[in-house]
Chains A and B, each alone.
Chain A
Amino acid sequence: MTVGVAADVVLSARGLAARAGGRTLFEGLDLDLRRGSLVALTGPNGAGKSTLLRILLGLAWPAAGRVERAPGLTVGLVPQLDPADPGLPFPAASVVAQGLPPSPAARRALGGAASAVRAALDRVGFRPPPSRRYSVLSGGERRRVLLARALVGAPALLALDEPTAGVDAAGEREVVALVRDEVARRGAAVVWVCHAVPGVEASADRVVAVGGVA
């Protein structure tokens, strides 16, 4: 679905509705994600914020409505839940490298895979060696690795589902500043699912209260 969106719009949703367990989470929801803008999705637990994000990314089907994405849209995702199977033996650097574009030319444009991964880990303030296995990292360190994975490919859209969960207060401020920088400097579109993160709602171009008034 890649039709009829304005030049600065990377993703456009119209009339979205979602249902779960026989109840309506939201309906009639319209949303445009523009380059260089931050949209915050807020609401209580179970309101459907993560469901909305999954629908926007094409990971779940809406009960009604449609989503249009810009052609060739690149996405960096930080999921709500830790995706790792704890037994998988991959080092942090390999997890971050999952966010790199597959084509060698695109990787070269980022300065090479290894240096791009190192730079992304540095940006998110990841202190342990990149060779440390993801499975042995703390919760906060894992969130930083997942954020680095979302940033490393310089995607047009950053989809962040509670990216600061488990991160300490100082780390949370760093993440907010980092995402603001992505919006301002690189012109990324950001959709951020959050409960009440200081600085996010204040700097958002639009706050969408899911399950309430949009």
Chain B
Amino acid sequence: MSAFLERLAQAYDLAPHALVGGAAVALAAGVVGALLRWRRVAWAGLAVPSAGTAGVAFALGGHATWHALGLPGHGPVEDVGLWAAWFTAAAVLLVVPVGRARGRDGERAAALCFVVSTTLAVLLVAESPHGDHEVASLATGRALLFLSHEDMLLLRAAMPALALVGVLLARRVAHLSFDRDHARAAGRAVVSTELAFAGLFAALVALGVPRVGAPFLFAALTVPSAAAERVAARPTTTAAVAGVVAALGFTVGATASVAWDWPFSTGVVAGLLATGAAVALLGRGARALAGRG
């Protein structure tokens, strides 16, 4: 215990940023993950963050690759946020509409997006003098420990707002996921809801991937939402619970990574899985008790 406290004290300078920033991202990702599951595009939770990572790699290695290929001009500017956003937007436009229109084609589009993004990221990073370090930091979660003051301001403002938008959208997204024809016949704003959903997902990934990395985001999008469905029923409640489970799971995982000196990503993914499993078991137990009653 004393060793753990010692490590916690050593990490204290870094921990507040990592804990607050990570919990904010987890909160938003949990909510958006619930909407992703209802739209049956949960696999986009892996493919789109991978594209965001490719965008980061492009920003870091694009310039060197440009010159290595002998192309004219100055090549792409090294702006991680900008390229992560462009790559994310392209992936969302490819994967989400195809997935909704034709399920199997959506899976193929997601697989294609994942393979191309991952390959591109590896090739670009290989050409970059410092890209391998940056991308490795994102993969292991180390980047989260070095969030800048500006990053913190952005995450603290944007992520709760994204979570709130997701909770407010939950009922509409659930309706059109369940029965799109009914939503249209009833005069609901189906197209604007779908656009808002795609924009919400893209904003979360574009802001999250360059700061917390794809493995954390993927786990926070998929695990808490699956667990929340075991304890909540109504769409708005389920989305909100998924956000809370994600934030809690992140906190548990971050604490575990300090306690056992795990890579941050490993700790966070393990924390999300453990918390998700505990919540799901709690839900099953509650239902069993209610059934007996």
| A interface with B by C-beta (< 8 Å) | 54, 57-59, 74-77, 79, 83-85, 87-91, 94-95, 98-99, 102, 131, 133, 149, 153, 159
A residues near B184, Cβ cutoff 8 Å: 57-59
Given contacts A74-B186, A83-B180, A98-B183, 5 further A-B contacts (CB under 8 A): A83-B179, A84-B178, A90-B174, A98-B179, A133-B233
Prevailing SS type, chain B contact patch:
helix
A83 near B182 with CB under 8 A, answer: yes
Nearest opposing residue in chain B for A79, CB measure: B181
State whether A75 touches B181 (Cβ < 8 A).
no
Across the interface, which residues of B come within 8 angstroms of A89, CB to CB? Answer: 229, 233, 238
B178: which A residues are within 8 A, CB to CB?
Answer: 83-85, 88, 90, 95, 98
Q: Flag if B188 contacts A102 (CB, 8 Å).
A: yes
Please pick, from A74, A88, A133, the residue contacting B38 in the complex, using a CB distance under 8 A: A88
A153–B185 Cα distance when bound, in Å, is 13
Q: Size class of B's contact patch?
A: 20 to 34
Which B210-261 residues sit within 8 Å CB-CB of chain A?
Answer: 229, 233-235, 238
Instruction: Please measure, in the bound complex, the distance between the C-alpha atom of A85 and the C-alpha atom of B37, giving whole angstroms.
Output: 11
| Residue B72 at the chain A interface, CB threshold 8 Å | no
Interface readout for B173-211 with A: 1 if CB under 8 Å, 0 if not? 011011111111111100000000000000000000000
10 nearest CB pairs, A to B: A83-B179, A89-B229, A77-B185, A91-B233, A57-B185, A98-B175, A75-B185, A77-B182, A94-B234, A59-B181
Residue of A nearest to B103 (CB): A85
- Structural contact, B235 and A90, CB atoms closer than 8 A: yes
Q: Is the CB of B181 within 8 A of A94?
A: no
Task: Given A57-B185, A90-B174, A102-B188, answer yes or no on A79-B179 (Cβ-Cβ < 8 Å).
Answer: yes
Chain B residues with CB below 8 A from A87, complex form:
40
A-B contacts, 13 of them at CB < 8 A, read A59-B185, A83-B181, A84-B179, A90-B174, A90-B178, A90-B235, A95-B178, A98-B175, A98-B178, A98-B179, A98-B183, A99-B186, A153-B186
Chain A residues, CB < 8 A from B235? 90, 94
Residue of B nearest to A153 (CB): B186
Q: Once the chains bind, are A75 and B234 in contact (CB under 8 Å)?
A: no
Q: In the complex, A88 Cα to B176 Cα: how many Å?
A: 12
Minimum CB–CB distance for A147 against chain B, Å: 12
Residues of B within 8 A of A59 (CB): 181, 184-185
Which residues of chain B have C-beta atoms less than 8 A from A76's C-beta?
186
Q: CA separation between A20 and B235, bound complex, in Å?
A: 37
Complex: how many Å from CA A131 to CA B290? 12
In chain B, residues 82-102, which have Cβ atoms closer than 8 Å to a Cβ of chain A? none
Contacts of B180 in A (CB 8 A): 83
B174 surroundings in chain A (CB, below 8 A): 88, 90, 94
Give the Cβ gap from A177 to chain B, nearest Cβ, in Å.
Answer: 24
- When A83-B178, A85-B40, A95-B178 are in contact, do A74 and B233 touch as well, CB less than 8 Å? no
